[in-house]
Amino acid sequence: MSATIDRGLNALREQIDSPVASFFSSCVSCGLCAEACIFYRATEDPKYTPIKKLDLMRRVWAREFTLFGRIGGMLGLIKPVTDEDLTEWETLVYDSCTMCGRCSLVCPVGNDITMMIRKMREGMSAAGHAPVELIGAAQRHTDKGSPMGDLSKAIHAQVKHAIDETGIEIEFDKEGVDYMVILSAQEIAEFPDVLSAMARIFKKTGVTWTISSEAFEATNVGIQLGNRDVAKVLVSRVVEAAEKLKVKGIISPECGHAYQALRWEGPNLIGRTYPFEVVHIIELLDRLRAEGKLKTKGKNTDRLTFHDPCQINRRGGINQEPRNLMNMVSEDFVEMESGGTMNWCCGGGGGVGANERAEKLRHAAFKFKKIQIDKVEPDAIVTMCAYCHHTLDNVFEEFDIEQDVIGLTELVAEYLDDDA
Amino acid sequence: MNSPAFDLLMWARGPAFDIALTIFIGGIIIRVLEIVILGRKKDMAAPKGNPVAQGFKTIFSRSIPREGLVKFAPITYLGGYIFHLGFFVAFLFFAPHIALFTDAFGIKWPDAGRVIIESATALAVIALLALIYSRMTDPVRKALTTFDDYLVLILSGLPLITGYVAVNKLFGDGQMMIAIHILSVEALMIAFPFTKLMHAVTFVMSRYYNGTIQGRKGAES
Amino acid sequence: MANTPMLAEMMKTHGISRRAFMKYCASLTSLMALSPALAPRVAEALENAPRPSVIWLSFQECTGCTEAITRSHAPTIEDLIFNAVSLDYHHTLQAASGHAAEEAREHAMKQHYGKYILIVDGSIPIKDPGYSCIAGISNLDMLKETAAGAAAIVSVGTCAAYGGVGHADPNPTGAVAVSEIIKDKPIINVPGCPPIPVVMTGVLAHFLSFGIPELDELGRPKAFYGNSIHDRCYRRPFYDKGQFAEGFDDEGAREGWCLYKLGCKGPTTKSACATVKWNNGVSFPIEAGHPCLGCTEPDFWDNGGFYKPLSVPAGDYRDAGLAAVAGGAALGAASALLAKAGKTKAAQAHETVDAHDLEKSS
């Protein structure tokens, strides 16, 4: 079995539903989605107009899902989609879209373009038009448990390190605790301090938790790839592990698409609701704060700003929670222009960060993002997504910019009131 | 003796209207059913917000532009607003048009005087010209624009222009201009189901869907 | 009847002063939209015009046109015009009847061949000419016969001009206008149901003084049919302000607001009603509170209903709409189900892939 255009078009057909049909019916090609798109705004190249990235899907819909389109197709007015088309669109669909969702919020007729890009990628990936890096990551994740390969040793080492650092016991595979914590590969490899932070906060707030040695990887490259079969395999591992451990919930870590994958797509991928809750770490921290369990002492006096990860705020619904926490621990918290729901993407999401071919475009997008940051001139940028953190760190390095980026969980842990 | 103008007027008010109405209503129903019947899978994710409530809210709230975007596409935003407002004021508040609704549905509402109607018409036409200009010159819009877009803009503008000419007897025979005005509306009606004019119906659905998708997540829409 | 007596002599006989005559000529001049400077020319032409012979034929008609012209403003100056012509045949007005009447017509035709004016009111049935006969002669034959020697024809009233009520759907008699039958003579249409008396006499006066007046594409003298009633209506300001009577007894009706919504056809009707008015300039239908029926226009009987506003479709559009709902629902459901079937087929054809399955083989 190998990827073919027929398989791709078939996958695309499966994706077309009422919302898609209404979106294509409603588009008046006003081009406002372009004004919202970081890739268009950074390059001002009209080919990056979001709705144009969906033209192939529109054609399949028109030709096969509408009476007038069928007639138009017979008359040769709407051309069938060819493999050459898919090749041409591959870069548009994968390289110039982080699925950040800004376009979906500005479209005057309410088209959820981002959701359609996600669907479009189903067809592209099934047809063999996904970027090699994402395919490689999917293979590593499927075979070895993480997109970076086998991180079993690494997670054990990091947990041990956290135990040593905090003196708090962290147990693997402990049944019946409140939460199962999963982490993104990025956190395990790059930002392991989050483990110590969580250990300290949960200890203080009385939350019991564990890590599954079988399913500790939170990311899901199937979502970025746009392949629900792959995504289903990966999400099932986490769901099954949680069910095995009989936890009340899973804590989705500081990772954008992991939250999207587990919280919003997961139940639909496996076709059933979860017997446990999925809560984002920041959501949980804010809940603990509201309940009075999470207490902090003192405040950071630096000029801090907050970078909203697209998949967690705009596409995930977590907007006020991090702000409550920011105000709790920061004295000089300054919002960026368009901060919050309309925040500009870091440029690395949706698989773009892993895609080498997209590097130039990513850098162009960052220059645009940087304008937003420069207006605030923060001492540090706080965020709640390890991949945003990673992307920002990398581009700052690339452009020789001194700029601290901090994870919100760590920042909160720093001001944890140890006496309370 | 036959008067071409009078015969055309009677044809426009009679058989042509019936034909246009049939295509208009039938076509819209076809396209709406094609969307609705297709269906969508039930979303299994536990909702954080209220999808349905936000869906309905978004139908209205999406009429307000996101902060900060107007300045990047002023012609599209302002032109779009002025055109839609002008078009609907002229369409829905001109007494002869209300008379049509009264005849069809037995409903009526207050009408606006000539000053308002003609100002609205003039503004809508100017906005339309600006939108056409922006489609011809702005790179993004130029790249997106197809024959359909120009057709829709022209078909939307003709009833405004011909209506203005007919009411004010700017030129041509009075009967002929009324006939042409009615025919231009019928052209708009006939084109409606086949073109992007459909957005005037389906925007309600797409905004609703967008609202439900975001609303389930407790996210803004 | 001799054609020698001139108008001047006729005036004297009727006791009409020179001053009154000149006043009439001046108003006639302005009515015909001519320069006031031409008034003396009108007077001169009328004074010196020989008294022409006129044959008036009435076919499928209601005598309303005759009623209008005779009852107009008698005994006024219009009456004079009729005395200025020699009305040799008019079966409602003439004293003679039977063979004597027809003889009068034949006599006049013979005597004034090529010079007499033929006035027609009423439509002509052509489906079966026997539908309407006079003295055993069908209207069709009588028209053809009489028209042959006419200098010009004046089709008075909408029936003669455009077929009128006889021609209205379903037109059982196959009624047609004079112009449908007579193609080789100048025809002046003076439509209206009935036409305004002063317009009828004005047209005749013009013909006598200057010959055939300038006509529009419907054969109407532009002087009297140049503007729509709507454009000259004293209620027009209410239309512009959006003030309409919605019923015959509502506040709007009492206030004298625009009658558009009650079906007024003023906007598409060309006539001098709003300026010349009727009954010696007293009033006209709209002033009396009734919407214009549009009677100077062809097929005004079939324009979708006298009380339907112009903007309302004339046909049975509800039937079309209901048919469209049914047809659209059927086609839409069929198309949607076809699309859904395609989607189901795609779902069945779905090959579960894994990460090692995402590259093209070649």
pLDDT in tens, B30-44: 999 999 999 999 999
Searching chain A, which residue's CA lies closest to the CA of residue B219? Answer: A317
Of the listed ranges A203-207, B23-27, B168-172, the least confidently predicted one is: B168-172
CATH class of A5-130: mainly alpha
Would you say residue B1 has pLDDT above 70?
no
Chain A residue nearest residue C355, CA to CA: A139
Q: What are the residues facing A300 on neighbouring strands?
A: A330
Fill in the amino acid letter for C103. Answer: E
Sequence-distant (6+) residues with CB within 8 A of C68 are C194, C195, C196, C197, C200
Of A261, A281, A279, nearest in space to A270 by CA: A261
pLDDT digit string, tens, across residues C223-247: 899 889 999 999 999 999 999 999 9
CATH number of C229-302, picked from 2.60.40.1080, 3.40.50.720, 3.40.50.360, 4.10.480.10: 4.10.480.10
Task: Give the whole-angstrom CA distance, residue B2 versus residue A419.
Answer: 100
CATH number listed for the domain at residues A137-288? 1.20.1050
Instruction: Give phi and psi for A288, each to the nearest 5.
Output: -65, -40
Q: How far apart are CA B23 and CA B132, in angstroms?
A: 27
Write down the CATH number for the domain with range A291-414: 3.40.50
Please provide residue A271's backbone torsions phi and psi, each rounded to the nearest 5 degrees.
75, 20
State the residue range of the domain holding B31. Answer: 4-64+72-216
Count how many domains chain B has. 1
Environment class of A323 (CB within 10 Å of its CB; exposed 0-12, middle 13-18, buried 19+): middle
C47 touches chain B (CB under 8 A): no
Q: What is the pLDDT of residue C2?
A: 42
**Confidence bin at C75 (pLDDT 50/70/90):** very low
C343: CB partners within 8 A, 6+ apart: A13, A14, A16, A65, B38
Residue B3 near chain C (CB below 8 Å) = yes
Contacts of C2 (CB under 8 A, 6+ apart): none
Q: Do A72 and A59 contact (CB within 8 A), yes or no?
A: no
What mean pLDDT do residues C103-122 have?
Answer: 92
Q: Are B161 and B153 a contacting pair, CB within 8 Å?
A: no
Q: Which one-letter amino acid corresponds to residue C196?
A: I
Of B1, B14, B34, the CB nearest to C335: B34
Domain boundaries of chain A, sorted by first residue = 5-130, 137-288, 291-414
Q: How many C-beta atoms lie closer than 10 Å to residue C32's C-beta?
A: 22
Six token digits for residue A381: 């940028």
Count of beta carbons in the 10 Å neighbourhood of residue C91: 18
Domain at C7-225: CATH code: 3.40.50.700
- Measured CA to CA, the distance from residue B196 to residue B210 in angstroms comes to 19
Give whole-number Cα distances, C160 to A94, C164, C212, C303, in Å.
Answer: 77, 7, 18, 19
* Residue range C112-131: mean pLDDT, rounded: 93
Q: In this complex, which of A2, A13, A64 lies closest to C360 when CB atoms are compared? A: A2
- Tell me what pLDDT residue B190 has: 97
B196/A28 Cβ within 8 A: yes
Establish if B181 belongs to a structural domain.
Answer: yes
Angle at B196 between CA B192 and CA B197, to 5 degrees: 40
Instruction: Write the CA distances from C155 to A137, C29, C31, C279, C306, integer angstroms.
Output: 93, 22, 20, 22, 24
Which chain B residues have a beta carbon less than 8 Å from that of C230? 174
pLDDT one-digit tens code per residue, B53-102: 999 999 999 999 998 889 999 999 999 999 999 999 999 999 999 999 99
Q: Do C350 and A11 touch (CB under 8 A)?
A: yes
d(CA A91, CA A103): 18
Does C261 contact B at CB distance below 8 Å?
Answer: yes
Task: Read off the pLDDT band of C3 (50, 70, 90).
Answer: very low
Nearest C-alpha of chain B: how many angstroms from A111? 6
**Does the residue B55 lie in any domain?**
yes
Residues of A in contact with C350 (CB under 8 A): 10-11, 14
Helix, coil or strand: residue A14: helix
Contact flag B63-A108 (C-beta cutoff 8 Å): yes
The model's pLDDT over A209-233, given as tens digits with 9 standing for 90+, comes to: 999 999 999 999 999 999 999 999 9
Determine contact: B50 vs chain A, CB below 8 A: no
Dump pLDDT digits (tens) for A365-382.
998 899 999 999 999 999
Cβ atoms B103, C314 nearer than 8 A: no
User: Which chain B residue has its CA at the smallest distance from C245's CA?
Assistant: B95
**pLDDT score recorded for residue C11:** 66
Separation of first and last alpha carbons in chain B: 62
Within A303-345, residue ranges assigned H as helices are 320-329
Where in chain C is CATH 4.10.480.10? Answer: 229-302
Q: What is the DSSP letter of C328?
A: H
Of A14, A141, A229, the CB nearest to C353: A229
Which one-letter amino acid corresponds to residue A359? E
Residue C55's pLDDT band (cuts 50, 70, 90):
very high
| C-alpha–C-alpha distance, residues A29 and A49, integer Å | 10
Radius of gyration from C-alpha coordinates of chain B = 20
Q: What is the DSSP string of A200-239?
A: HHHHHHT--EEE-SS--B---HHHHHT-HHHHHHHHHHHH
Q: H helices then E strands: how many in chain C? A: 17, 9
Cβ-based neighbour number of residue C14 at 10 Å: 12
Q: Which backbone phi and psi does C109 adopt, to 5 degrees?
A: -60, -45
Are A125 and C358 inside 8 Å of each other by CB? Answer: yes
Write the pLDDT tens digit of every residue in A239-296. Answer: 999 999 999 999 999 999 999 999 999 999 999 999 999 999 999 999 999 999 999 9
Give the minimum alpha-carbon distance from A110 to chain B in angstroms, rounded to a whole number: 4
* Max intra-chain CA distance, chain B: 74
Q: Is the pLDDT of residue B156 over 60?
A: yes
CB contact under 8 A, C314 and B17: yes
The least confident of A28-32, A344-348, C278-282 is: C278-282
The region, left, alpha or beta by phi > 0 then psi within -120 to 50, assigned to residue C319 is alpha
Residue B221 resides in a domain:
no
* B152, closest residue in chain A (CA to CA): A28
Amino acid C97: pLDDT: 84
Instruction: Determine the residue among A14, A18, A22 to mutate to test chain B binding: the one whose Cβ has the most chain B Cβ atoms within 10 Å.
Output: A22
How large is the average pLDDT for residues C145-158?
95
Measured CA to CA, the distance from residue C211 to residue C216 in angstroms comes to 16
ipTM: 0.95
Residue C233, phi then psi, degrees to nearest 5: -75, 135
Instruction: Give the span between the Cα atoms of C291 and A402, in whole angstroms.
Output: 83
Q: What is the mean pLDDT of chain A?
A: 95
Would you mind telling me the total number of residues written for chain C in this entry? 362
Chain C residues with CB under 8 Å of B27 CB are 328
Q: Do A128 and C331 touch (CB under 8 A)?
A: no
Considering CB atoms only, which of A18, A51, A318 is closest to B38? A18
3-state secondary structure of C76: coil
- Mean pLDDT of all residues in A113-117: 97
B169 touches chain C (CB under 8 A): yes
Interatomic CA distance for residues A219 and A118, integer angstroms: 16
Q: E strand or H helix at A279, and its extent?
A: strand A277-280
For the ranges A166-180, B64-78, C36-50, C269-283, the maximum mean pLDDT occurs at A166-180
CATH label of the domain that carries residue B90: 1.20.950
- Beta carbons within 10 angstroms of residue A342's beta carbon: 20
Residues of A (280-339) whose Cβ lies below 8 Å from C: none
- Rounded Cα distance between A48 and A51, Å, is 9
* Measured distance CA(A313)–CA(A336) in Å, rounded: 14
Is A35 in CB contact (< 8 Å) with chain B?
Answer: yes
Query: Nearest CA of chain B to the CA of C116: how many Å?
Result: 24
**DSSP character string of A128-160:** T-S-HHHHHHHHHHHHHSSTTS--HHHHHHHHH
| pLDDT tens-place string over residues B171-197 | 888 889 999 999 999 999 999 999 999
pLDDT at C4 over 70: no
Stretch B114-133: mean pLDDT: 96
pLDDT grade, residue C30 (50/70/90)? confident
* C47 has pLDDT over 90: no
Output the pLDDT for position C198.
83
B152: which 2 tokens? 């829709």
Residue C258 has pLDDT above 60, yes or no: yes
Count of H helices and E strands in chain B? 11, 0
Residues of chain C with CATH 3.40.50.700: 7-225
Interface partners of chain A (CB pairs < 8 Å, 3 or more) are: B, C
> For position C74, what pLDDT does the model report?
38
Chain C residues touching B24 at Cβ < 8 A: 324
Give the minimum alpha-carbon distance from C331 to chain A in angstroms, rounded to a whole number: 8
Which tokens hold the place of C239? 């239309």
pLDDT at C189: 96
Q: Give the residue from A7, A81, A229 with the most C CB atoms within 10 Å of its CB, the best one to mutate.
A: A229
**Contact between B150 and B128 (Cβ < 8 Å):** no
Q: Which pLDDT does position B67 carry in this prediction?
A: 83
At A75 the pLDDT is 95
